[in-house]
Amino acid sequence: MAEGDQAYRRARTREQKGRRLDDILDATESILDEGSYHDVTLSAIAERVGYSRANLSHYVKSKEEILLLLYIRSLREILEDMRGIDPALLDASSVGGLRDAAAMLASMLSSHRNFGRLGALLASIIETNVSLECLIECKREIVAVMAEGSGLLVECGMFDNADDAAAFLFDLSNYVSGLYPATHPLPLQRAACAETGYPVASYEESLRDFLTVQLVGYRALKEGRDGL
């Protein structure tokens, strides 16, 4: 959407507000794709969607709130991808099948950049610059998405109960928060790595290895308990 500020009309319905918010999130994502976190400002976002700063404030209070909402949207998109998994195509009873599942999940997560790049900024920057009310609402949404995702993992046979699957998903989100910046160094860091031979791992391959260890390890622990 590229409506000029003179033509701006405040959204009156929930549907209109949702569309405006999506436009704001799309604009923020495009700024991130072109630059970095530091390039995301309310002025840049307002200019991208054709609003004034004052009109933008009708929908969001800060850039951190926008980034937090963008992270949650990424989680919802991942959940939609997970709903498309056909359990019949997975043999979660074998190590080979779990390796295939790990590779599939790694590819899925890698296609949603905001899960990693914003996850890396959550605790230290984003979540320290939003209101408690906003943070509580967003945390509830994250817990709900994780709960539904854990149910899908159980349906696919990767886990036997939702509690273990949920713990796995939260561990995964924490792992990604550290992995993404390590595998996506800034230009200055990348130059230093190239000069010194410092290794820069592949994001998707590291995710695949982590997921494989977690899924295969869980199955081995379960079989060990069952064998006692």
Residue 5's pLDDT band, with cuts at 50, 70 and 90, is very low
The span from the CA of 67 to the CA of 51, in Å, is: 18
Domains of the chain are 1-60 (1.10.10), 62-227 (1.10.357.10)
96: amino acid identity, one letter: G
Token pair of 154 as six digits: 């159980």
* More confidently predicted of 227 and 138: 138
Does pTM top 0.75 for this prediction?
yes
The span from the CA of 107 to the CA of 204, in Å, is: 6
In tens, the pLDDT along 53-75 reads 888 888 888 999 999 999 999 99
Residue of 37, 46, 30 lying closest to 64 (CA atoms): 37
Environment class of residue 127 by beta-carbon count within 10 Å: exposed (0-12), middle (13-18) or buried (19+)? middle
The span from the CA of 42 to the CA of 60, in Å, is: 10
161: amino acid identity, one letter: N
Query: What mean pLDDT comes out for the span 20-25?
Result: 91
Query: What mean pLDDT comes out for the span 114-127?
Result: 92
pLDDT at 186: 87
The span from the CA of 196 to the CA of 169, in Å, is: 35
Percent of the chain with pLDDT over 90: 67
In tens, the pLDDT along 160-170 reads 999 999 999 99
Least confident of 76-80, 178-182, 207-211, 222-226: 222-226
pLDDT at 225: 66
